[in-house]
């Protein structure tokens, strides 16, 4: 990292861009299509004004919150993100260790470049993110491995029947380098991800071959019956889907548009979050991701009704900039920003922030 310590998550972005190959930066920074939804995520959060309370007697607020029935140091989890050894040799193991030190859950991707067993060895709370694969037996094997390794929750991603058309990757003919692989899959299952073809995203070609596009509510029911772990559904935008997921017995829904990387033209998550909260009506927790860039955004999400957020790209920036230590520094910055935001909003803790009122448009 730079000689001057980062004081915001945006500082880590600048440091990461300086050290990453341009094609890798585009892989993590880009969205799908014309990146309309990618831009909308940030604009929607910026448009949320939070009405602070005064004379509340708050001195030093607590930042702890209960996620999936367990107290965490922040109302935050590290989002699932693939192939983290693209950023730094520390990869998923380093980022998971940083999350453990910071006291927040780490969500391990199906497409991790480090096996799930090495990720849980970091010692902190780990949730396993599941992509629905064409090979049902492999799905079962991954669920069993994650549980045996100590993962306490399963987060099934439901918004990737196919990978969104990410034009930066297409233009770059992006492919994984030889030293980065999908470590949780059998040895020959990610060959396509390494096969560089002009005008083709090799990662998209790979996921197209192994992901099952026809995921259904019956599959979710099967998964709910198959696992005794807490179950989250990630990729919910329509309140009707949120209500149905809650009815199916999930423990949480994640309001997400995949960071603007799937359907370009999908709404910003901050826009639909309040409707989703109303739709689930307390039957499960509601988390939000896509566009969270600091403690004020966490406060905004809480005020809109979320129980917590997932933080994605900023953690990759920090990992690229400084490995495990960089990731820990970013989480410390985020915690400090959240404490300041809670204090300035007159909130004793994240639960109090959920009672704040919001306005849109400034």
Domains of the chain: 9-360 (3.20.20.70)
Q: Quick one: DSSP state of residue 266? A: P
The annotation status of 328 as a binding-site residue, yes or no, is no
Residue whose tokens read 């831009």: 39
In this structure, are residues 283 and 249 in contact, taking their beta carbons and an 8 Å threshold?
no
Would the annotation count 129 as a binding residue? yes
What does the pLDDT read at residue 76? 98
Please check if 357 is assigned to a binding site: no
> Phi first, then psi: what are they for 51, rounded to 5°?
-85, 110
Q: Say if residue 313 carries a ligand binding annotation.
A: yes
Q: Which pTM value belongs to this model?
A: 0.96
* 34 marked as part of a ligand binding site: no
Query: Can you give the pLDDT at residue 196?
Result: 86
Residue 259 DSSP label: G
Between β-strands 126-130 and 106-108, what pairing exists: parallel, antiparallel or unpaired? parallel
- pLDDT value for 362: 56
From first CA to last CA, the distance across the chain in angstroms is 34
- Is 194 noted as a catalytic residue in this protein? no
Residue 75 annotated in ligand binding = no
Q: Which residues are CB-neighbours of 210 under 8 A, at least 6 positions away?
A: 133, 134, 135, 185, 189
Q: At what angle do helices 269-280 and 239-247 cross, to 10 degrees?
A: 40
The predicted structure's pLDDT at residue 1:
57
Give the long-range contacts of residues 67-72, CB within 8 A, separation 24 or more: 67/105, 67/252, 67/285, 67/287, 67/307, 67/308, 68/127, 68/152, 68/153, 68/230, 68/232, 68/251, 68/252, 68/285, 69/230, 69/251, 70/125, 70/152, 72/103, 72/104, 72/105, 72/125, 72/308
Catalytic residue among 179, 194, 206, 258: 258
Per-residue pLDDT in tens (0 to 9) along the chain, 362 residues = 556 889 999 999 999 999 999 999 999 999 999 999 999 999 999 999 999 999 999 999 999 999 999 999 999 999 999 999 999 999 999 999 999 999 999 999 999 999 999 999 999 999 999 999 999 999 999 999 999 999 999 999 999 999 999 999 999 999 999 999 999 998 766 788 988 899 999 999 999 999 999 999 999 999 999 999 999 999 999 999 999 999 999 999 999 999 999 999 999 999 999 999 999 999 999 999 999 999 999 999 999 999 999 999 999 999 999 999 999 999 999 999 999 999 999 999 999 999 999 999 75
Alpha-carbon gap, residue 182 to 159, rounded angstroms: 20
């Amino acid at each position: 990292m730079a000689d001057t310590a980062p004081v915001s998550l945006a500082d880590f972005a600048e440091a990461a861009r300086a050290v990453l190959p341009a094609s890798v930066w585009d892989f993590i920074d880009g969205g799908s299509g014309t990146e309309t939804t990618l831009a909308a995520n940030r604009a929607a959060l910026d448009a949320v004004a939070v009405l602070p309370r005064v004379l509340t007697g708050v001195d030093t607020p607590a930042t702890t919150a209960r996620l999936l029935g367990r107290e965490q140091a922040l109302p935050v989890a590290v989002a699932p993100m693939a192939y983290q050894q693209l950023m730094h040799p520390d990869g998923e193991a380093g980022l998971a260790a940083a999350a453990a030190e910071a006291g927040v859950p780490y969500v391990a991707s199906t497409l991790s470049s480090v096996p799930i067993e090495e990720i849980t060895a970091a010692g902190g709370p780990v949730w396993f993110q599941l992509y629905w694969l064409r090979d049902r037996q492999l799905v079962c094997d991954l669920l069993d491995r994650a549980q045996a390794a100590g993962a306490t929750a399963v987060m099934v991603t439901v918004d990737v029947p196919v990978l969104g058309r990410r034009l930066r990757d297409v233009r770059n003919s992006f492919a994984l380098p030889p030293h980065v692989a999908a470590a949780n899959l059998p040895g020959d299952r990610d060959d396509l991800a390494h096969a560089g073809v002009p005008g083709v995203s090799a990662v998209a070609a790979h996921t197209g071959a192994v992901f099952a596009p026809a995921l259904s509510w019956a599959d979710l029911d099967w998964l709910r019956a198959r696992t005794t772990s807490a179950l989250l559904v990630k990729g919910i935008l329509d309140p009707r889907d949120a209500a149905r997921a809650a009815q199916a017995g999930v423990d949480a829904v994640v309001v997400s548009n995949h960071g603007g990387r799937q359907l370009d033209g999908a709404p910003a998550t901050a826009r639909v979050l309040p409707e989703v909260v109303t739709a689930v009506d307390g039957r499960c927790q509601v988390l939000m991701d896509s566009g969270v860039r600091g403690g004020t955004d966490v406060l905004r999400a809480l005020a809109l009704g979320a129980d917590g957020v997932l933080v994605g790209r900023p953690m990759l920036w920090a990992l690229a900039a400084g490995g495990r230590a960089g990731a820990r520094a970013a989480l410390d910055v985020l915690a400090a920003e959240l404490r300041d935001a809670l204090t300035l909003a007159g909130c004793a803790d994240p639960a109090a922030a959920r009672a704040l009122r919001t306005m849109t448009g400034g």
